[in-house]
Amino acid sequence: MSGLAIGTLQLVPEFDPEKTSYTANTSDATNKVTVTLCEPKATATITVNGLSHTSGTSATWLTGLNTVAIHVRYGTTHKVYSVAVTKAGTLGSLTVASTAGEEEGETTITVTEPLTAGCRYKYKTGESVDLPTLDDDLSEWDDWDGESDIAATTGHDIVIAEVSITGNLAKKAGTTTVAANDGG
């Protein structure tokens, strides 16, 4: 690879084909990710936050840490470059509601805002649950598909969080008090 540019962002360190790890900071919503290959038969595969990306097109940044991975292949040679792009900001908010679920001991959760591309849901429930902060690692929280009922206790807290596909880093979160099906 002979070149790597992310819009007008300054890569740290400055691009060098022998170096594979970089950082950059932005306040922009998007920047073009452009890879220049030095060999005509070389190929590059780019992902931004785990999603496939095309060189020369704009990437949309999540608030906080974003991961850009570039896999370059030429013959039997394979090299992976990574850029950690940090977008300034704070944890986004989600509007979360809980109603009695279909089965006893379950709650139906709704989130008003659409799920952000490059993210998935995680949740935690208990007598008292604090909201995470931006980029907290929520790997230990439970996965939620955005539709299925969740086993929970009426009166407990539930926090739903949007996390990055890569790293399970908190990007948005919201909380509500659980209303579960109490079998009555």
Residues 47 and 122 in one domain: no
Domain count across the chain: 2
Q: Domain with 41 in it: what CATH number?
A: 2.60.40
Asked if 44 and 81 sit in the same domain, the reply is yes
pLDDT, tens digit (0-9, with 9 covering 90-100), for 55-80:
999 999 999 999 999 999 999 999 99
| Same domain as 76, residue 98 | no
Task: Report the pLDDT value the prediction gives residue 44, as an integer from 0 to 100.
Answer: 95
Q: 86 forms bridges with which residues in the sheet? A: 25, 65
* Structure tokens belonging to residue 72: 């370059």
Shared domain check, 142 and 160 = yes
27 inside domain? yes
Tell me: do 81 and 115 sit in the same domain: no
Q: Give domain status of residue 184, yes or no.
A: no
Output the tens digit of pLDDT for each of the chain's 184 residues: 889 999 999 999 999 999 999 999 999 889 999 999 988 899 999 999 999 999 999 999 999 999 999 999 999 999 999 999 999 999 999 999 999 999 999 999 999 999 999 999 999 999 999 999 999 999 999 999 999 999 999 999 999 999 999 999 999 999 999 999 998 7
What CA–CA distance (Å, rounded) separates 6 from 48?
Answer: 12
182 domain-assigned: no
Among the listed residues 110, 108, 183, 106, the one whose alpha carbon sits nearest the alpha carbon of residue 151: 106
Domain span holding position 56 = 3-87
Q: Are residues 77 and 112 in the same domain?
A: no
Q: Are residues 99 and 131 in the same domain?
A: yes
Q: How many CB atoms lie under 10 A from the CB of residue 46?
A: 22
Is 60 among the domain residues? yes
What is the reported pLDDT for 1?
86
pLDDT tens digit string along 145-159?
Answer: 999 999 999 999 999
